[in-house]
Amino acid sequence: MNKLIIIAVILLFIPQIAKERGIEPTICLKDYSIIRLSFPKLRYDSLIECLVKYESSGDKNAVGDSGLAKGILQFHQPTFNQYCVEKYGLIDNIWDPNIQKECANRMLEDSFGNIKHWSVYKKCI
């Protein structure tokens, strides 16, 4: 009985909330169990712009954390290498604002918990 209630809630409310946010979810059911509930990839542009504002005021040449943090999103080189270059295959240019924004978006898509890489995140959520 509890499974049916959970399925009903998901089927009724998740699509409604998603549609209000302009997202079309895909729901697949088999034998009354949910196999997949997927959404198109999200863009975090507004959140990333807020991070840029508080991290660097948009200065692409910003340097912080005693020289460790670089660019508009104040990436540290090891973090930039790990995520942007190695994981996502982006061009190895820590100073490029577009690469930093794309990398940040992919990090947030992977796990919203990655927001904690930016110390100013609480000002933006």
Q: Mind listing the pLDDT tens digit for each residue in 62-91?
A: 999 999 999 999 999 999 999 999 999 999
User: In angstroms, rounded to a whole number, what is the distance separating the alpha carbons of residues 98 and 104?
Assistant: 10
First to last CA, the chain: 37
pLDDT per position as a tens digit, 96-114: 999 999 999 999 999 999 9
pLDDT at 34 over 50: no
pTM metric for this prediction: 0.68
